Amino acid sequence: MLGFLKKWTLPVAIVAGTALYLLFAYVPVLQPAGEWLSDPLDVLFPFSVFVTLYFNFCPIDFHKMAPARWQLYLILAQLALIALVTGVVLGFGLQGNARLVGESALTCVIAPCAAAASVVTRKLGGNLHQMTAYMLVTCLICSLTVPTVFPLLEKSAHISFLATSLLILRKLSAILLLPLALAWVTKHFVHGLYRRIMRHPNISFYCWGLSLAMVTGFTMRNICHALGTGILGYIALVSLLLCVLQYFIGVGIGRLTGERINTRQGMFQKNTSTIIWISSLYLHPVASIGAGFYVIWQNIINSYEIWENERHG
């Protein structure tokens, strides 16, 4: 049983998160417990991501976090996709349900690189140092693109560029910079703990499995709450197409630069929890469902990648 869980951590996490949410939401005897657990889980999720990244960042050598050519290509590709989706929504004057699908598509391309990208990159044998640097850069880019683009789509959104930029940076810094700093302190000053952590290189991956179960449950909650929306199927399909498109853009850039693992993960893995939070503040609530579906698709692809890597490794 333990061997099965180690081999299929991500699929098990997705199924477990989905099943547990449905049980506590739709089995009458469990509904009170589900309502009671909602708030603690909302608090526990960012903490679990923090712990995951702390373990993952411990091996990082800051001297190896230099900029790389592939990072520039991925940034340009992401900016092009943001411009394309925004241009389609505005250029075709999409309204009603079509506009909601367009806004959902935007959440799938404007999100920064996922925190889990560094975890999976390390699991697949990629460059953890460069991926971590890229994650930080995309957070900065997100803090600039979101307050620039969102007001173009939602004229009624009272969104201040500076206030929104600082809001995004503050949220992302708490998740990324604090565990990075704590990992650096552990590596250089708490040597006993550092050695114990390094003896278990997969601990961050299993911690991420727990986080994924929670984020899948949150995603199912958002999807179930939007079941009355007739465009749910279109949003799911568009998010799947964008996930696959960004994956293969990463593959193409990897062929040019020789960094196939990093470019794949950096391009298609998105920090959906952050963009769901920020889009729910400034866009129509249904728009965040796109990023909710996206997290399912990207982790199905990650599960396949890890399975292929271990099968050939």
Structural contact between residues 137 and 112, judged by C-beta atoms closer than 8 angstroms: no
Q: What is the per-residue pLDDT for 229?
A: 65
Exposure string of 110-137, with b = 16+ CB inside 10 Å and e = fewer, is bbbbbbbbbbbbbbbebbbbbbbbbbbb
pLDDT tens digits along 149-189 = 988 887 666 667 888 888 888 888 778 889 999 999 999 99
Q: Tell me what pLDDT residue 221 has.
A: 84
CA angle 12, 17, 18 (to 5 degrees): 100
pLDDT band with cut points at 50, 70 and 90 for residue 273: confident
Residue type, 107: T
Of 152-156, 251-255, 271-275, which range is least confident?
A: 152-156
Determine the pLDDT at residue 102.
Answer: 94
Task: For residues 113-131, give the mean pLDDT.
Answer: 91
Assign 141 a pLDDT band (cuts: 50, 70, 90): very high
Inform me whether the pLDDT recorded for 107 exceeds 90.
Answer: yes
In whole angstroms, give the CA distance from residue 262 to residue 131.
6
Residue 265 has pLDDT above 70, yes or no: yes
Local confidence band at 3 (pLDDT 50, 70, 90 cut-offs): low
User: Which region among 113-122, 165-174, 177-186, 251-260 has the lowest average model confidence (pLDDT)?
Assistant: 165-174
pLDDT tens by residue, 22-77: 999 899 898 888 888 888 888 888 888 889 999 999 999 988 998 999 999 999 99
pLDDT at 282 over 90: no
Q: What is the DSSP string of 263-281?
A: HHHHHH-B-HHHHHHHHHH
Which residues are CB-contacts of 220 (< 8 A; sequence separation ≥ 6)?
17, 18, 21, 22
- Mean pLDDT across the stretch 233-261? 95
DSSP character string of 41-56: HHHHHHHHHHHHHHHH
Structural domains of the chain ordered from first start:
2-39+61-177+200-312 (1.20.1530.20)
In this prediction, residue 78 carries a pLDDT of 97
- 292, 275 Cβ separation under 8 angstroms: no
Cα 297 from Cα 281, distance rounded (Å): 24
Give whichever of 29-43, 66-80, 87-101, 108-122 has the largest mean pLDDT.
66-80
With CA atoms as reference, report the closest residue to 154 among 284, 288, 287, 285.
Answer: 284
Q: What confidence category does residue 198 fall into, taking pLDDT thresholds of 50, 70 and 90?
A: very high
| Enclosing H/E stretch for 96 | helix 96-110
Question: CB neighbours (10 Å) of residue 300?
Answer: 15
pLDDT at res. 313 = 60
**Identity of residue 260:** R
